[in-house]
Structure 1
Amino acid sequence: MKIGIMSFAHVHAAGYARLLAATPGIEVVAADPGDHPDGEVRGAMLAAELGVYYLDDYEDLFTWEPDAVIITSENARHRADVERAAAAGAHILCEKPLATSWEDALAIRDAVARAGVTAMIAYPVRFSSDFARLRAQYRAGALGEVVAVRAANNGKMPTGRSWFTDPQLSGGGALADHVVHIADLVDALTGATPVRVTATSNRLLYADRDAESAAVILVEYSDGMIAALDSSWSVPQQAPAWGGLQMSVLGTDGTVDVDFFGSAVRGVTSSGQAVEARYGADLDATMLTCFLEAVRTGAQPQPDVETGLRGLSIVLAAQESAQTGRTVDIAELMER
């Protein structure tokens, strides 16, 4: 199977390349065209470090006729890259968020449908064994009716990729970067439709950047469930791990707390430095396995474009709410 990687912009691109290069029966080729910011290892240099074949532009990549591509470009460039890949007949795994505007997201949906290719959104946390157990408990009725969710996705501000804090390329800051992961877990667990969002955000951390570094949002769902989501780049750069994602699910018959990255060995070095070694399955590897199997069989993998649309609608509504100080109706916002 032939898999192309479109851009090394995203921090996850290198990990995907390594995993694919180590997978039997997979040929992987990367292309990362354009000018790259000073100090960022990109392009042919990064491909050489990763041990993957490199082409200079996307035209050459699609002349190679990949079966599928992984799109890890800047968020604002997802639409153009998806449209190009879909027109070439390649199946798609696209980094999150799906897009930075509703118009671009709908264009992505239409391009995929028109071309008849499958598209999957990169939400690896839903592939964790912790989430599988949570969903099994919910489906077995152990929680009863879910009435509320409280979740936090806190991490370090991304470094080494300057576009993450440029709203023109990223679509936002910590809110756009983190909320979609939590939204996907709620979506996959309950299937409820988000209807209204109230949010607040600030730039108290990393005030020299143009994007918000922290946000708290309240999402109201069609079935009456509410979800309070904490999203921030509040973990210090000196911390031993990047951050984490925790979720509490309150049901009429029980409550479950989940720490998705809590499995770790922690300690202190002789010099007093904190260390943390996490263990467990590689969620990116599990997600890629699902995607590759879908490419082989032609099945539609989850999460799909519709999932990406629902997550993006929450982000866009939260951004408007934080700006205006008002609760935002998602349907009304999307109809503008």
Structure 2
Amino acid sequence: MNARPQVLRVGILSFAHPHAISYAGVLAARPDVHVRATDPGVHASGEVRGAELAAQLGVEYADDVDQLLSWQPHAVIVTSENVRHREHVERVAAAGAHVLCEKPLATSEPDARAIVAACERADVVLMTAYPVRFAPEFVRLLEVVRAGELGRILSVNGTNNGKIPLGERSWFTDASLSGGGSLVDHVVHVADLLDELFEAQPADRVHAVVNRTLHAVRPGIDVETGGLVSVRYLNGATAVIDCSWSHPDSAPNWGGLTLEVVGSRGIARIDPFAKHVGGFGPSGAVRHDFGADMDASMLAEFLAAVREGRSARPDGRAGLRSLQVVLAAQASVQSGGPITLDQVEELGRIAL
């Protein structure tokens, strides 16, 4: 893996995921990065996408993926619909560009493994986009846990709740593009924090329940809108993850994530999205966030890895492990009870 020059050509492949807008803003503000985007696929009527959105964001635009790759980018951020990650990552890696792939890494384990293998063959960086790992609150939590201040970790309670993604990003509620609903959208973030907290300790047993009670009156939603997932790890710790699209449309922010870690000697709680000033204005509730920009910190790690010719964390294998928790949760829903990861293959959900 060769080190790259200080001024990097970075591509953004698709505006399908709303995180692409934040990433474009962060990158466009950096003098050491030259940004160019492309936005393949069919866009819903009324969506501001493609060249129009690129112009609004102040980044250059390529008409298609071939044109983007002919620019010979050093790195590409893949922010397409979940089901298209494999196709796009394989093309980018084959072109010799490093990859930051939006979560979840894929919608199936074979696709996720193919993504990892493609990047390893091409000797390029593969990083999975989990910005909450870079929240100062989580970094401090890791320090406390690693120092043994909480003793042996017994259990973790995690929440990742937000608005239902509709309107210009309604593909999130189309299982053929997203792979699932709130279970897929929100479990992976907490599963990744647990993966880091437990130093890649494998999950052992997963039990999940889901429903469509939330937003039941909305037409055209064929995925779960609420869920609860319990996970037992090989180190004996258990975790519970609330993964619902429970924030109302009128909420001033998209949602939030919390983590409570219970140990034999103490308890620690973090709320990385709590830093804000809130109130009410002429149009209703308002919110202004402040503090560390997690997206900027994550992108800084990715760009540093590209420049230095080293791996980045969280890497593709971390993305694979968090996806396995989601797929096991889907298998549990299908079976109607708890399931061990070595049973998942028998149910035909993933091939371990």
Count of residue pairs brought into register by the alignment = 335
Give the equivalent residue in structure 2 for 1:288.
Answer: 299
Amino acid corresponding to residue 131 of structure 1 in structure 2? F
- Determine the C-alpha separation between the residues in 2 that align with 1:162 and 1:230: 22
TM-score by length of 1: 0.97
Residues 26, 296 of structure 2: 8 Å contact kept: yes
- Determine the C-alpha separation between the residues in 2 that align with 1:10 and 1:268: 29
1:113 positional shift = 1.0
**Of the candidates 230, 239, 247, which is equivalent to residue 242 of structure 2?**
230
Q: Does residue 242 of structure 1 match 2:249?
A: no
Q: Does residue 314 of structure 1 match 2:325?
A: yes
SS at structure 2 position matched to 1:197? strand
Q: How does 1:45-60 map to 2 (within 5 A)?
A: 45-60=52-67
Give the equivalent residue in structure 1 for 2:228.
Answer: 216
- Determine the C-alpha separation between the residues in 2 that align with 1:272 and 1:53: 34
Amino acid corresponding to residue 271 of structure 2 in structure 1? D
Q: CA RMSD in A?
A: 1.2
**Of the candidates 149, 154, 157, which is equivalent to residue 164 of structure 2?**
157
Give the equivalent residue in structure 1 for 2:347.
Answer: none
Residues 151, 263 of structure 2: 8 Å contact kept: yes
Q: Does residue 119 of structure 1 match 2:131?
A: no
1:57 positional shift = 0.8
Q: How does 1:272-283 map to 2 (within 5 A)?
A: 273-283=284-294
Give the equivalent residue in structure 2 for 1:33.
Answer: 40
1:275 positional shift = 2.5
- Determine the C-alpha separation between the residues in 2 that align with 1:188 and 1:30: 31
- Determine the C-alpha separation between the residues in 1 that align with 2:123 and 2:12: 20
1:330 positional shift = 1.3
Counterparts in 2 of 1:55 and 1:335: CA distance versus 1, 3 Å? closer
Q: Does residue 305 of structure 1 match 2:316?
A: yes
Q: How does 1:1-336 map to 2 (within 5 A)?
A: 1-159=8-166, 160-191=168-199, 192-207=201-216, 208=219, 209-269=221-281, 273-333=284-344, 334-335=350-351
Amino acid corresponding to residue 12 of structure 1 in structure 2? H
* Structure 2: gaps spanning 5 or more residues: 1-7, 345-349
1:331 positional shift = 2.8
SS at structure 2 position matched to 1:232? coil
With 65-74 and 107-116 compared, the bigger mean Cα shift is at: 107-116
With 86-95 and 18-27 compared, the bigger mean Cα shift is at: 18-27
1:272 positional shift = 8.6
TM-score by length of 2: 0.93
1:257 positional shift = 1.1
With 33-42 and 175-184 compared, the bigger mean Cα shift is at: 33-42
SS at structure 2 position matched to 1:35? coil
- Determine the C-alpha separation between the residues in 1 that align with 2:278 and 2:23: 27
Amino acid corresponding to residue 318 of structure 1 in structure 2? A
Give a deviation string over 1:240-293, Cα, whole Å, max 9, x none: 221111111001111001111111222233x59332222111110111111111
Residues 86, 114 of structure 2: 8 Å contact kept: yes
Identical pairs, percent:
53
- Determine the C-alpha separation between the residues in 1 that align with 2:195 and 2:62: 38
SS at structure 2 position matched to 1:81? helix
